[in-house]
Amino acid sequence: MDRPEFVIVFVTTSDVAEANRISHALVEQRKAACVSIVPTVSSLYWWQGKMEKSMESLLIVKTLSRLLDEVIALVKGMHSYENPEVLALPVVGGSLEYLDWLDKETQTSPGA
C-alpha cells in the first residue's frame, strides 16, 4: 500500500478567536488531524498597493494532500479576510508513528 502524501498548511487569521473557530471546524470535520495555533505573529505585506503591518494568529494545519481542496474551501468559507493566506507545503518525512496517526485521524468519519 502506498503511503499517503502529507502537507502542512499555513493560515493566518485576524485574531485568536477566528483561529480557534477555524481550527475547531478543521479538526471536528476530520479535514486535519491537528491544528497548532500560534497566537500572535507580526505580518508585513503588500495589500492593494500599500505596505501593511498586522498582528495576526497563525494556524499550522497537519493534513493529507488529498484533503487540501476541502481545507481551502472551509477556510475561505469561515475567514474574515477577502483573500486569506492558505499555503501548503509538502511533508518530506517525519516520525512514522506520527504520520500513521495523522493518516488514521483524517480517515475516521466525524462522530466515530
pLDDT of amino acid 78: 98
Q: CA 105 to CA 15: how far, in whole Å? A: 27
Q: Is residue 112 part of a domain?
A: no
Number of domains in the chain: 1
The CA-based dihedral angle spanning residues 48, 49, 51, 52, taken in that order and rounded to the nearest 10 degrees: -10
Contact present, 35 and 56 (Cβ < 8 Å): no
For residue 96, CA distances in Å to 26, 70, 74, 102 come to 23, 25, 28, 10
pLDDT of amino acid 88: 97
Instruction: Note the pTM of the prediction, 2 decimals.
Output: 0.92
Q: Is residue 24 part of a domain?
A: yes
CATH of the domain at 94: 3.30.70.120
pLDDT of amino acid 3: 59
pLDDT 10s digits, 91-109: 999 999 999 999 999 986 6
pLDDT 10s digits, 9-67: 999 999 999 999 999 999 999 999 999 999 999 999 999 999 999 999 999 999 999 99
